[in-house]
Structure 1
Amino acid sequence: MQLLYPCKKIHGKQHPEWAYDAVLYELNMRQFTTEGTFVAAAKELPRLKKLGVDVIWLMPIFPIGEQRRKGSLGSYYSIRDYRAVNPEFGTMDDFRAFLQQAQNEGVKVILDWVPNHTSRDAVWTIEHPDWYEFDTEKNEIATPFDWTDTAKLDYSQQAMREEMVAAMKFWLSQGIDGFRCDMAMLQPIDFWDWATPELEQVKPDIFMLAEAEGVEFHRRAFDATYAWDMHHLLVKIAQGQANADSLRERLKWEAFHYPEQAIRMQFTSNHDENSWSDTEFVRFGAAAKAMAALTYILPGIPLIYNGQEVAQPRRLAFFDKDAIEWGAPNDFSDLYEKLSSLKHAHPALRAGEQGGDLYSIDNSEQWRIFAVKRKIGEQTVIALFNFSGADAWVKFWDEDFNGEYNQLLSNDKAQLTSDSDFLLAPWGWFVYWR
């Protein structure tokens, strides 16, 4: 038995208590319903609550710029006004009603915040052109990367920083619970280390998620960061370019570098991966279910991208209307519901310093079998994954691989016995708990 995820303490941001066992759900308002509105989305909130969703991350809901607009409707991330809602989605009152309904269901709501750039015809480009970086060769406001519909903000401008935080405070005053901060690594870290305490003056238990990796984001400003490198490794494993040993090494690296209280967001899809890299079924193939389960077992909090719960099989258009075809609930719906229930019920699966340590279980096929346990006291979760396309007869050796357990998917009782042969199907997996 090897401890993969030992913990070290560091003083960082204090997390909201509800964040420790949270299941996140990314909601793309444009594609979530046929209508693409707050009113239509609110009708789905009871279903999301039943699925086990605790936090809805709303992709940007703000008015979209028209200058150099991409596609027929434009990019959600080309924002004209930080203090208004996209009329495509409804009115501010519609948003407030959606927020109230979510609160009635016990679901938190965080907004996707885009601090790196605005649209090229944003309110600020007219009122405060000095708040932007300037491209002297083109004699115009600079454009980041190939995002030709956007204008790059200049973080050397203190007045811009202050207005950015003031706009975020406006949304906190509406009752939201926090922010997912787009491309957070593109702003100076000192901005975030200053901004979060400012926001906490309005909402002390604010939740902050950074689209970034790096220990520095956990020093003061953010509760959670993207586990991007972990995601890319899981794709490599599914495609036969890495194995179970690679995952164990990655976990040891993260445990050494990240503090105990750091919350990593685990995922198999999101709006970027779906639209630009393809669906999880293309990227993970036969391993799609196993990797979905793994995001609930690894330290951190899991993300569901809208449509994953019904195995939505296609890439969604990014700049045009392309509503999800929901169909009837299926085995993926059941899978996510059961995984979420276990996440909520079992303290060993809590995130950060409240969760159980992650131990590797020794086995006879270490290179392709990823076997781990997480436990607090006598409460134990055991997870077994076959990271190969062939049957595996395996022996496991661990003091906790004995006795009666509950099996996640079947709800049956299972008797585990150390040193006995155990069959795992190709890309097969089991989760046991007691």
Structure 2
Amino acid sequence: MNKWWMEAVGYQIYIKSFKDSNHDGIGDLNGITEKLDYLHLLGVNLVWITPFYDSPMDDNGYDVRDYFKVSKEYGSLEDFKALLKKAKNLGIKVILDFVLNHTSDEHAWFMESKKSLDNPYRDYYIWQKPKVVDGKILPPTNWGSFFGGSAWKYDETTNEYYMKIFSDKMPDLNWKNPNVAQSMIEVGKWWLDLGIDGFRLDAVSHLAREDFVDSTFAKDTVLDWFKFSNLPDNHKYLNQLHEGLFKPYDAFTIGEVGGQASIDEAIKYASFNSNEVSMVFNFDHNWHNNIWDITDLKDIKVNVIPLKETLNKWQETFKDIGWLPLNWLNHDQPRVVSHYGHVDYHNESAKMLASIMYLSRGTPFIYQGEEIGMTNYPFKDLSEINDISTLNSVKNQIAMEPERAHQIIEKALMTSRDHPRTMMQWQHTEYAGFSTVKPWFHVNPNYTEINVFDQVNDPTSIWSHYQKLFSLRRFSKYSKTLINGTYEMILKDDPNLFVYLRKYQEETIIVIGSFSTSETIMDITNYPVGDILIHNYEDISYENNNLKLRPYETISYRIKE
């Protein structure tokens, strides 16, 4: 018996950049409500909304000041209730980001925690005494932060350091303290009682910590995520959340475990019998190209075989024991059509990438703007960057290698987390229809060519291809095969073709995608063409059992029996 989320189509909304309803240049809850009909038309029936809790916005809302309040930039609790009501009327489930690893340094718990060594909230956070060397006060360990610099921040009030593996303003919670788990369970209950359907669990692989011993990776400050990623106690804490919160509410949960979680760890997190989370997002498939070796995105090339190996590894592992999310990107990853597609074949490559991902076994999660083929922003200067992670990383790298400053900045502009955070491109009017005033961040200049308005009624558009994919999954006679069918990758060593079979009972569907800019021939002797499900060219070219695939061509069809 399938859970509802196994048959859903998910859509991530980065609220700040989605739709501004009150003309202040910032996306908001009412903007989402306004666009729910659009998402319903696309075929989406599950939305994940990034944090809109009260926050100082050091990291765009992932630094939570109060879990029970809506940040004034985004509206009010009444606005969210109205959003939830309309979503339910449209049959759209709603999940929220649940930030479990840290709070803002302006959260009431932390304000209390830093007052004194014996404050009741002291152990809500991770405090350690300084290391003193030759009379100099140093951090407790040489551990580095994901956002650059030390993972420790000194606090003069009590002469101790608090741990923060992200920003200085995001102190890490101490999950060894059972009161932290209980407090977070109460937060979760409050939102579930309001009517939401579950959570995307932010940075959930980092809740546990090793003993506070220096990393051996280097003598100086070094990012050693093995000290605070996917450790054994992480499973204990998630099990507590499952038993105390997720299970009683039958809540859907999807954990962000990054690119360092092993397959074995992922099974512990998200197999059908794990008693932790419903499924996990990983980033293993996100960087299989030559992005680190080039200076111009026009030279980007996809490492197709490693990409296939990674995606197939996850499919094979979870084929009988669990479920996977299907996603190309999120608010931290490059725009997929810029990253794995081709600038000269924008339409074709965007459709091909959609087909090979979203006809797989799992639950699609697309990121806002992906459905129209939005691209990376043409950043030219570091002053155009907003992301604290990018800025801190550049600062620290240049401090270590000042002679490489130009190259470091150039690479940061190509890979910054800000690429997917530009404004959603709704129309070809000023500010892309996102707002009537200048937005908080950039609008990609290609909004006049790439926007919802021009695509939504065009049967040849990228948007229409996405809509058809979701219709095939949810409403067609092939739904059972596309949802419940097995997944078998073939032609694993082909450097250009991405091909797999979906089988259910007597039906077999083949999904083919070409990453080549040239014509490619595929022998389909064993895969005779039956009913065509979806295709990104006007016609199909094959003869003598040879399928001729044009640049970035994709086709899916039922194999004739």
TM-score interval, smaller chain:
0.7 to 0.9
Alignment of 1:374 with 2:505, yes or no, is no
Change (3 A) 1:433 1:257: closer
Task: Letter of the 1:130 partner, please give it.
Answer: D
Once the two structures are TM-superposed, the CA of residue 403 in structure 1 deviates from its matched residue by 4.7
| SS of structure 1 residue aligned to 2:285 | helix
Alignment of 1:167 with 2:187, yes or no, is yes
Matched-pair contact (CA < 8 Å) for 2:491–2:498: no
Aligned with 2:481 (options 338, 342, 348): 348
Map residues 65-84 of structure 1 onto 2, 5 A cutoff: 65=56, 70=58, 74-84=59-69
Query: Which residue pairs with 2:269 in the alignment?
Result: 217
Aligned with 1:130 (options 93, 104, 123): 123
* Structure of higher RCO (CA pairs closer than 8 Å, 6+ residues apart): 1
Gaps of 5+ in 1: 1-14
Once the two structures are TM-superposed, the CA of residue 251 in structure 1 deviates from its matched residue by 4.8
Question: What are the Cα deviations for residues 162-202 of structure 1, in whole angstroms up to 9, with x where unaligned?
Answer: 11111111100000000000111112211111211222454
Question: What are the Cα deviations for residues 318-377 of structure 1, in whole angstroms up to 9, with x where unaligned?
Answer: 589953231214212112101111121321221xxxx211223469x8342222210212
Question: What are the Cα deviations for residues 137-164 of structure 1, in whole angstroms up to 9, with x where unaligned?
Answer: 3235524234122111111111111111
Query: Which residue pairs with 1:144 in the alignment?
Result: 164
Matched residues, percent identical? 24
Map residues 299-338 of structure 1 onto 2, 5 A cutoff: 299-315=361-377, 323-327=423-427, 328-330=453-455, 331-338=461-468
| SS of structure 2 residue aligned to 1:268 | coil
Map residues 14-413 of structure 1 onto 2, 5 A cutoff: 17-35=3-21, 36-65=27-56, 70=58, 74-127=59-112, 128-137=121-130, 138-139=154-155, 142-187=162-207, 188-200=234-246, 202-204=248-250, 206-212=251-257, 213=261, 214-218=266-270, 219-233=274-288, 239-240=300-301, 242-244=303-305, 246-255=306-315, 257-258=317-318, 260-273=320-333, 278-286=334-342, 287-315=349-377, 323-327=423-427, 328-330=453-455, 331-344=461-474, 345=476, 346-350=479-483, 355-361=484-490, 366-398=494-526, 401-409=527-535
Which is greater in Rg?
2
Once the two structures are TM-superposed, the CA of residue 256 in structure 1 deviates from its matched residue by 5.2
Change (3 A) 1:251 1:56: closer
Task: Letter of the 2:352 partner, please give it.
Answer: A
Runs of 4+ that moved beyond 6 A? 410-417
Task: Letter of the 2:509 partner, please give it.
Answer: V
Change (3 A) 1:200 1:129: same
- Distance in 1, matches of 2:464 and 2:339, equals 22
Aligned length: 399
- Distance in 2, matches of 1:306 and 1:134, equals 39
What TM-score results when the alignment is normalised by the length of structure 2?
0.65
- Distance in 2, matches of 1:231 and 1:203, equals 33
- Distance in 2, matches of 1:413 and 1:100, equals 43
Deviates more, 1:295-304 or 1:195-204: 195-204
Matched-pair contact (CA < 8 Å) for 1:111–1:179: yes
| SS of structure 2 residue aligned to 1:33 | coil
Task: Letter of the 2:39 partner, please give it.
Answer: L
Matched-pair contact (CA < 8 Å) for 2:319–2:487: no
Gaps of 5+ in 2: 22-26, 113-120, 131-153, 208-233, 292-298, 343-348, 378-384, 389-417, 428-452, 456-460
| SS of structure 2 residue aligned to 1:360 | strand
Instruction: Please report the RMSD computed on the Cα atoms of aligned residues, expressed in angstroms.
Output: 2.9
